[in-house]
Every structure is written in structure tokens, then in C-alpha cells.
Structure 1
Amino acid sequence: MQWKQAIIDYQHYLKIERGLSDNSIFNYSLDIRKLVVWLESNEINVSPVVISEEKIQEFIYHIAKTVNPRSQSRIISGLRGFFNYLIFEDYRNTNPMELIESPKLGRKLPDTLSIEEIDQLINAIDLSSPQGERNRAILETLYGCGLRVSELVSLKISDLFFDEGFIKVTGKGDKQRLVPIGGATEKYITIYRKEIRVHQIIAPTAKDTLFLNRRGKPLTRAMIFTIVKQLAEKAGIEKVISPHTFRHSFATHLLENGADLRAIQQMLGHESITTTEIYTHIDKKQLTAVINSFHPRK
């Protein structure tokens, strides 16, 4: 088996068996191709079936000189998954990544916005323009429902179940979940739909898409980043923020106000509670307060 065919087969596996998105599949494949490029540049002719741990280790030493620890860790994880797949398909008996450790990473947490800063951003929106009402609805949805930017731009009118108090969100790997929607978020989405969107000429392929650009087509991820960046500058907020900052703020504010971590996990669409713990940092004072309030031997 040659590398090209192995990568193609692995991509099919990730798509069909794992249900991963095209973007995730591309990133996993890119990690393997980096190894292939290194092998070719060093004139090392070895197939994925027989490549040894020593050759992999040489490659890891090489990339450690050019990428940061976080990227190095991701590449190691991607290669480990690839060789596990080869074992699963009976092409190999062992994983050459078995004894290769990822670099230790510190917990990297993005900035959160305070409630006052979120109000500042929303107050900076020019509501005299049609895009203003749309942008307010976008920010309220990002913060009110904790959505990823990809989930926001793919949100459809048919996903809105306001009578039941939920929206249906399609997350990573096309997995769907129901997320509660608050009164404020519902209010601003309704204003945008009934006062702005209804007057647009909408592209045939975007009839069911909720948030549209001026040409009646779906907004891109890049456009949402631009909207947030411009509003942050206008509001005088110096933190480096992105659409994801609203998701992190959503989880953090819920936790600070006593929400259950498992409930937050479900709303964010995390498979692992460990991921939710990373998103929702708790300071030591909060932990002490929990012990003092709830432990039987406080």
C-alpha cells in the first residue's frame, strides 16, 4: 500500500465511519501529507505499512524545529489516528506512534467578554441600517445560544422552534442538537425576520437560510469575523475577540451563575465533559465556595 492510496482510504473512513466534516478530514490528511513530504525530501522510500517508529521520531524532531508545541501535538495526534486506522484494517500490527509523547501544553483559554462588554458591542451597532438589525440578531444568537460560527451561518428558518423554546443546531460531523433559546434572542431574530429579511430578494438556494448578506445569499464565516472585529473597534474593546469569544462567554457566564456543567456540555455540543471544562474555567474562589456550601464536612 502506497501513501496516496492509504490517505484516500483513510479519508473515506473518516467520512463514512466517523462522520467527520470535510474541514476536519482535510486537516487530518494534511498532517499525514506533511510526513509524506518529509520522507520524499529525504529520499526515504518506505510505505505506511512498514514505516518504523525511528523514522517517525526523526520526523517529529524535524517538525519540532518549525512548529509550536500545539501544532506539534495536533500532528502527532493525527498520525496516531491514521496508524490506528491501518491496524484496524489489518495493514499493520503495531502503531509506530505508540511511544511518541505529545509535548505538554498549558491550558490556553480565550478571552471572555463581561456582560458590560457584550452590551457595549451591541450598543455600537448602527440600527439605522438593515444590516444593523441583522447584526444585532447575530450577536444575540452567538451569545444567547453559544453557537460556533459555522453553526450560525448554517442556521435555517426551519431550525427555529420558538413555540417549544428551542433551536435545532447542526454541529461538527453533522450532529444535531436542540439548544434552548431565551426571550431576548428570540425577540431580535423575529425583528430581523419580519422587518428586514422579509423585504430582501433572496437567492433560490438561500430561501431557508436565516442570516443573509445584502445580495440575499448566506453569510460566510469570514463575514461574521469581520462584523465582530469592526464592532469591537467601534466599541473601544481592546481584547482580541472573535465569534468564538461569545460561545466561551456564554458557557462561562452560565457556569458562574450556577448552571450545571453537564447541561452546558449538552448545549455546546461537546462529546466529552473534559472539553467543556476547558471552555469554562473556574477560579479558585468559586471552587472554595462550592466546597464551603455543599460538602458535608465543610
Structure 2
Amino acid sequence: MTNLAVASQSLITPLYQPLEDVYSGLIASHHKKTTQSTYKQGIKHFCNYLLTGAIAKGVKVNLSEYQIKSVISDYLKLDAKTANAYLGAYRNAMIEADYTPNSINVKIASVKALVKYAFDYEQCSFLLDKVKTITPEVYRDTKGTTPENIKEILALPDTLTVKGKRDYAVLRLLWDCALRRGEVASLSIEDFNPKEGTLRIKGKGKLSKETIYLSAKTIDAIEAWLDVRYQPLPHYPLFISLDNATNGHRLSTKSIYRIVKKYSSEIPEGKILSPHQVRHSSITAVLDASNGNVRLAQKLSRHKNLDVLTRYDDNRVALQQEAVNLLSTLA
């Protein structure tokens, strides 16, 4: 008999939260802050619908955590048929309110994740398997901008200043490596290996980091930034804020978005870009330069699904326009 079997129950450390608190349990079970935020917003939105019976697009939902947990508690007591009916009505209301398929699916997935968590811990007797998601929209504009415009943007940061060195290094990473802004924001100094010319990044949906290779220009840009970066200790963030209010803090994804928007807006007749549009531009440019080598573009983008890269390539060569023109010559 083990010591645990004979120990008094009072000696066991209490659970951090009661099992019936499925809301807090679900949020705590996910390590990524973005996932936690997505679930919180989705569940709050659903709870507001259960309370009001209506959806008003663009109106901020104001519910306290206590109210959310109370609504969840009532919902989890329903039978399977009624619970699925409520979720189906919620999905239909979002369709009527003109939510995008992606937005609808994310909110539905949040509610399903909550119920699945509750079901696993025997806090409800049903799963939400009757309500199906909506076929998401595919990428539309995947072209971004031209390499010529990117070259102009890269020439804008004043690399004689600390801020300019940081911004240039961020822009070079976004362009040369087609990184997502979250991947750039999460970097630490120890992830950068200038001798090997590599960088360890945590890709989208990944728990562990993967190693990618860097161009000589990107290596030089990061080294120039680290030469002036305050307290460059290995475990510190690679990129930090230089604003007075948040100086020294990890550079946020919002700040990276602002950096790209600021410099791209300064290009005459250029397109104001987001970090993801820079990524689109990088992938499209590789396809252009390699005559549509989808596998090469896949290595750059790290997309698992080749179909995504095929859509990039289709947009690049305007196949739909080519087909239209061809048909017009036949009749």
C-alpha cells in the first residue's frame, strides 16, 4: 500500500480551482495567450447571445466573469438536443448579422471546446456534434506588393539611430524569412546564432521551436541591432519597445504592425501593408523568381498544405483572367 493510499485527505494539496469551474479550467489548459484570448472572446459572445437572444455586430459585449460562469453553468445543465439547438441558432444569427465564415467558425469552436472540456471532466452530459462549421473563405489577395516597393521600404529606417536599426532588422526578418509578426515578437536573443546563420522560431500552432536559415543581410541587420540593444542577455527578448512608457519590454505584435504600416505608408503610390501582407509578398516573389516552384515556396512559408501555396501561385499568374480571355476568343 502506498503512502498516498493511507494518507489523510487533508494532506493533499487542494486543486487550484474546483473541477466545476470549467471556464477557468479551459482557459488555463492552453498555454498560448492568443488562444486564451480567442476562447474568452468567443465564449463571452455566446453567453451574451444566450442572455439577449440577439446579435449586434460591432457592439462591445460587457459581461463580467461571474455572469459568464453563471450562464455557462445553466447551459451545461441542458439536454443534448436543446444545447445543440441553441448553438445552431447562434450560428444562424451570426450568418444573418453578416459575420465572416472564419469569425463564425472561431466562435463556434470556442463554445465546442468549452463543452468538450466540461464533458471530459463529467460536468455535462453532451457534446456539440450536431452543429457544423462553415466552409471558410480562401485567401483572396495574396500578392501583397512588389519587391521594388519592399526595397524602397527597407531603405527608409535610419540605421544610424537605435530605433532605425531595430526597425530595419524587423523588416528584414519579415521579408527575407516570410515570418509572421507573432513569430518575430516571440524571439529571444538566444534564438539567434550568427555563426551558424540560423534563428530558432516558434511557428504557428507549434509547441517547440524550429530552426531556419537567415540571409547575410538579415544576420548583419540583427547584429547591428544587438550592438546597440540595451542589456543583450541571452534570455531577453530579441526586439524590445523603445517608447518611454514601455521601454525595454518585449516588442508587441501590435507594435510590429505599426512599424510595417508606418514605413509602407511613406512609399508614394505604394500599398499600405500589414506584416502578413509582407509575408504574402515574400511568398509570391519566390514563386515569381523560381517560375512557380511551389515546394520551394513551401519551405519558405512552412505551410503544411500545398493547396495554400497553389492558391498563391494561381493568384500570381492570374489563371482565372487567362481562362476568361481564352474563352472570349472561342465564341
- Rounded to whole Å, the distance in 2 between the matches of 1:264 and 1:162 is 24
Indicate if the aligned counterparts of 2:180 and 2:279 stay in contact, CA closer than 8 A.
yes
1:39 aligns with 2:39: no
Q: Where does residue 27 of structure 2 map in the other structure?
A: 11
The equivalent position to 1:57 in structure 2, one of 76, 80, 88, is: 88
Q: Distance between the aligned counterparts of 1:83 and 1:76, measured in 2?
A: 11
Aligned positions of 1:182-197 closer than 5 A: 182-194=215-227, 196-197=228-229
Whole-Å separation in 2 of the counterparts to 1:4 and 1:85: 11
Q: How does 1:219-298 map to 2 (within 5 A)?
A: 219-258=251-290, 261=294, 264-265=297-298, 267-270=300-303, 272-273=304-305, 276-277=308-309, 280-283=312-315, 285=317
Alpha-carbon separation, structure 2, partners of 1:158 and 1:9:
33
Measured at CA, do residues 47 and 81 of structure 1 come closer, stay the same or move farther in structure 2, by a change above 3 Å?
closer
Alignment partner, residue 134 of structure 1 = 166
Q: Is the 8 A contact 2:154 2:171 kept in 1?
A: yes
Q: Distance in 2 between matches of 1:184 and 1:203?
A: 20
SS of match in other structure, 1:52: helix
| Shift in alpha-carbon separation, 1:129–1:251, aligned structure 2, 3 A | same
**How many residues are matched?**
276
Higher-Rg structure is 2
Equivalence for 1:153: 185
1:294 aligned residue:
none
- Tell me: CA distance 1:185–1:101, structure 2 relative to 1, closer, same or farther (3 Å): closer
Deviation at 1:116, TM superposition (A): 0.1
CA distance in 1 between partners of 2:160 and 2:37 (Å): 41
How much does 1:273 deviate? 1.5
Of 158, 163, 168 in structure 1, the residue corresponding to residue 200 of structure 2 is 168
C-alpha deviation, 1:251, in angstroms? 2.2
Structure 1 residue 222: Cα displacement: 2.5
The 3-state SS of whatever aligns with 1:72 is helix
Q: Which residue of 212, 236, 245 maps to 1:208?
A: 236
Equivalent pair of 1:165/1:181 in contact (CA under 8 Å): yes
Q: Which residue identity lines up with residue 60 of structure 1 in the other structure?
A: R
Could you tell me how far 1:179 is from its partner in structure 2?
A: 1.1
Deviation at 1:22, TM superposition (A): 1.6
Q: Which has the higher contact order (CA 8 A, sep 6+)?
A: 1
Q: Which amino acid aligns with 2:24?
A: I
**Alignment-derived partner of residue 211 in structure 2:** 178
Match of residue 123, structure 1, among 155, 173, 178: 155
| Aligned-partner SS, 1:125 | coil
* Structure 1 residues 244 and 48: alpha-carbon distance in aligned structure 2, compared to 1, 3 A threshold: farther
Deviation at residue 76 of structure 1 after TM alignment: 2.5
- Structure 1 SS opposite 2:211: strand
How far has the Cα of 1:193 moved from its partner?
2.5
Distance change >3 Å, CA 168–CA 279, structure 1 → 2: farther
Aligned-partner Cα distance in 2 for 1:279–1:166: 29
Q: 2:139 aligns with which of 91, 102, 107?
A: 107
Structure 2: gaps spanning 5 or more residues:
1-17, 54-69, 321-331
What is the CA–CA distance in structure 2 between the aligned matches of 1:139 and 1:47, rounded to whole Å? 47
TM-score, structure 1 as length reference: 0.75
Decide whether aligned partners of structure 1 residues 68 and 23 sit closer, same or farther in structure 2, where only a CA change above 3 A counts. same
Alignment deviations for residues 242-288 of structure 1 (CA, whole Å, 9 cap, x no partner): 12222222222223333864564455454x31584377343485989
Looking at structure 1, the residues matched to 77 and 308 of structure 2 have their Cα atoms a distance apart, in angstroms, of: 35
Q: Name the CA distance, whole Å, in 2 between partners of 1:11 and 1:148.
A: 24
In the other structure, the counterpart of 1:30 is: 41
Distance 1:237 1:155 in 2: 33
Deviation at 1:48, TM superposition (A): 5.8
Structure 1: any 5+ residue segments left out of the alignment?
289-298
Deviation at 1:130, TM superposition (A): 2.9
> Runs (4+) of structure 1 moved beyond 6 Å?
none
Whether contact under 8 Å (2:83, 2:128) holds in the other structure is yes
